[in-house]
């Protein structure tokens, strides 16, 4: 092994031999189909003449490792999901790393390996990247940026209508609560696991129904409630959901109550929320349930003429609650 030390040094971000050895022995070993691949700043991609979707995101989750995933898997799945929910087919990702001096190379290997596994499972390639090393204390161990591109043959029109149905593909709040439980300062023991996963296969299964889907999102920061508010923001129609219909694990509810949090605003990283045309909800739910990630898919509500620009929920107690968009994120550093 060319790497002489088991810790990240400032020299690993210098552009010199240490940096090249690190990239070759850790990143290229995992990501490159050709082990002799040239270490270029950009990848040359051969694509047919099609529309492309492009996205980028940066991940600063704390802790770096949590039940069900880590910052690397999260970065790959999150970027794939951002492409998938606009109807695109993810193809290629970049990987940008900001590493703190002193970070253990063994941990970096675990993160990079998990990125490669997640990409391979999703049928996506990591083809280029960048590595920077900063002084000890300048970042919290490791930050990851991923950008992604994919074919965009179909875009959902985004025009929701009264009577349209709202679907969620599984239990809500799993990721955010798993990350919070894993934080050392809470010292909590729980069986909760992040739902971190790439949804492109599940979305692909819905292609025969794309013409009946108005909108699709992945409910990350801000959770289900925020996504629903984005759907109706600035419109003269509203969304009414049924609390009894929304799938939530008991552990998520219990931990949310303990920490004083609202699970409707807690992030997922392996779910989709979509609005489809009236009468199509159950057909889409049946299709989603054939996929392993969609087993608990359910219709949770409808687009209504009442409550213009707002999201409301009929509660288990029989009342009606407004689900406003929060001013800020109630859970920092969960992605």
Kindly give, in sequence order, each residue whose CB lies less than 8 Å from that of residue 292, ignoring residues fewer than 6 positions away: none
Owning domain of residue 281: 165-322
- Calculate mean pLDDT across residues 257-283: 95
Neighbours of 132 (CB within 10 A): 15
Answer whether 8's CB lies under 8 Å from 100's CB.
yes
| Whether the predicted pLDDT of 205 surpasses 60 | yes
174 lies in a domain? yes
> What pLDDT, on a 0 to 100 scale, did the predictor assign at position 46?
62
Do residues 126 and 181 share a domain? Answer: no
Mean pLDDT of the chain: 90
Of 108, 128, 151, which marks where a domain is finished?
A: 151
Long-range contact pairs involving 113-116 (C-beta distance under 8 Å, separation at least 24): 113/30, 113/72, 114/69, 114/70, 114/72, 114/73, 115/30, 115/31, 115/72, 115/73, 115/75, 115/76, 116/30, 116/31
pLDDT of residue 305: 97
- State the pLDDT confidence band at 309, using cuts at 50, 70 and 90: very high
* Those residues with Cβ within 8 angstroms of residue 262's Cβ, 6 or more apart along the chain or in another chain: 225, 256, 330
For the residues of 94-106, what is the DSSP string, one character each? Answer: EEEEEEETT-BHH
Q: Determine the average pLDDT of the residues in 16-36.
A: 74
Residue 235: Cβ within 10 Å count: 14
What does the pLDDT read at residue 1?
A: 41
176 and 141, same structural domain?
no
Please tell me the distance from the alpha carbon of residue 312 to that of residue 168, in angstroms, as a whole number: 16
Question: What's the pLDDT at 330?
Answer: 74
Does 96 fall in a domain?
Answer: yes
Quick check: is 303 in a domain? yes
Q: What is the CA radius of gyration of the chain?
A: 21
User: What average pLDDT score do residues 168-181 get?
Assistant: 96
Instruction: Check whether 6 has a pLDDT greater than 60.
Output: yes
The span from the CA of 128 to the CA of 221, in Å, is: 27
Mean pLDDT across 180-190: 78
Report the pLDDT value the prediction gives residue 326, as an integer from 0 to 100.
80
Residues 129 and 58 grouped into a single domain = yes
SS3 of 184-216: the string is CCCCCCCCCCCCCCCCHHHHHCCHHHHHHEEEE
Structure confidence by residue, pLDDT tens digits, 145-160: 999 999 887 778 889 9
Residue 332 confidence (pLDDT): 81
Residues 307 and 214 in one domain: yes
Q: Are residues 136 and 176 in the same domain?
A: no
147 and 170 in a single domain? The answer is no
Q: How many domains does the chain contain in total?
A: 2
For tokens 């392996």, the residue is 270
Distances (CA, A) of 159 to 66, 81, 155, 237, 335: 37, 21, 12, 11, 29
Give the residue from 151, 178, 196 where a domain finishes: 151
Q: Model confidence at 314, in pLDDT bands (50, 70, 90)?
A: very high
**248 and 136 within one domain:** no
Shared-domain flag, residues 112 and 212: no
Are 85 and 23 within one domain? yes
Contact yes or no for 151/200 (Cβ under 8 A): no
Same domain, yes or no, for 288 and 245? yes
Write down the pTM of the prediction: 0.89
CB 79 within 8 A of CB 201: no
Residue 157 located in a structural domain: no
Distance CA 255, CA 147 (A): 33
Question: Is residue 226 domain-shared with residue 112, that is, in the same domain?
Answer: no
Q: Is residue 35 scored above 60 in pLDDT?
A: no
Domain-located, residue 122: yes
210-232 tens-digit pLDDT: 999 999 999 998 899 999 999 99
| Any domain includes 327 | no
> Could you tell me if residue 302 is left (phi over 0), alpha (psi between -120 and 50 degrees) or otherwise beta?
beta
Mean pLDDT for 106-131 is: 96
What is the spatial distance between Cα 335 and Cα 30, in angstroms, rounded to a whole number? 23
- Model confidence at 238, pLDDT cuts 50, 70, 90, reads very high
For residue 222, give the CATH number of its domain: 3.90.650.10
* Shared-domain flag, residues 299 and 211: yes
pLDDT of residue 156: 85
Is 285 in contact with 215 (CB distance < 8 Å)? no
The average pLDDT across 116-134 equals 96
Q: What's the pLDDT score for residue 158?
A: 86
Domain assignment present for residue 214? The answer is: yes
- CATH number for the domain spanning 107: value is 3.30.1330.10
pLDDT band at 44 (very low <50, low <70, confident <90, very high): low
Residues 68-96 have pLDDT tens digits of: 999 999 999 999 999 999 999 999 999 99
Residue 306's SS3 state is coil
Sequence-ordered list of residues with C-beta below 8 angstroms from that of 205, at least 6 positions apart, any chain = 287, 288, 290, 291, 294
User: Does residue 293 contact residue 199 with C-beta atoms inside 8 Å?
Assistant: yes
Domain boundary among 97, 124, 151: 151
- Is residue 331 in a domain? no
Query: Is the confidence at residue 192, as pLDDT, over 90?
Result: yes
């Amino acid at each position: 092994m060319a790497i002489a030390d088991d810790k990240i040094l400032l020299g690993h971000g210098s552009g010199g031999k240490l940096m090249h050895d690190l990239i070759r022995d850790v990143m290229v070993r995992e990501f490159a189909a050709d082990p002799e691949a040239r270490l270029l700043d950009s990848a040359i991609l051969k694509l047919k003449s099609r529309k492309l979707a492009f996205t980028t995101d940066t991940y600063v989750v704390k802790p770096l490792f949590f039940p069900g995933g880590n910052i690397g898997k999260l970065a790959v799945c999150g970027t794939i999901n951002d492409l998938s929910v606009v109807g695109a087919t993810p193809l290629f990702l970049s990987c940008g790393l900001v590493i703190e001096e002193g970070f253990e190379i063994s941990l970096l290997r675990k993160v990079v390996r998990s990125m490669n596994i997640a990409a391979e499972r999703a049928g996506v390639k990591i083809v280029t990247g960048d590595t920077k090393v900063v002084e000890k204390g300048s970042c919290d161990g490791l930050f990851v940026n991923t950008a992604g591109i994919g074919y965009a043959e179909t875009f959902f029109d985004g025009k929701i209508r009264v009577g349209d149905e709202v679907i969620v593909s599984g239990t809500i709040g799993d990721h955010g609560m798993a990350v919070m439980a894993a934080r050392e300062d809470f010292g909590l023991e729980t069986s909760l696991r992040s739902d971190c996963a790439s949804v492109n296969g599940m979305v692909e299964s819905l292609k025969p129904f794309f013409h009946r889907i108005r909108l699709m999102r992945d409910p990350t920061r801000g959770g289900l409630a925020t996504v629903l508010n984005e759907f109706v923001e600035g419109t003269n129609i509203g969304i009414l959901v049924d609390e009894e219909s929304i799938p939530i694990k008991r552990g998520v509810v219990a931990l949310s109550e303990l920490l004083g949090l609202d699970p409707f605003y807690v992030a997922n990283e392996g779910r989709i929320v979509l609005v489809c045309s009236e009468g199509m909800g159950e057909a889409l739910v049946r299709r989603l349930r054939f996929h392993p990630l969609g087993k608990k898919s359910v219709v949770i509500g409808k687009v209504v003429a009442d409550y213009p620009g707002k999201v409301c929920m009929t509660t288990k107690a029989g009342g009606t609650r407004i689900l406003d968009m929060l001013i800020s994120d109630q859970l920092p550093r969960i992605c």
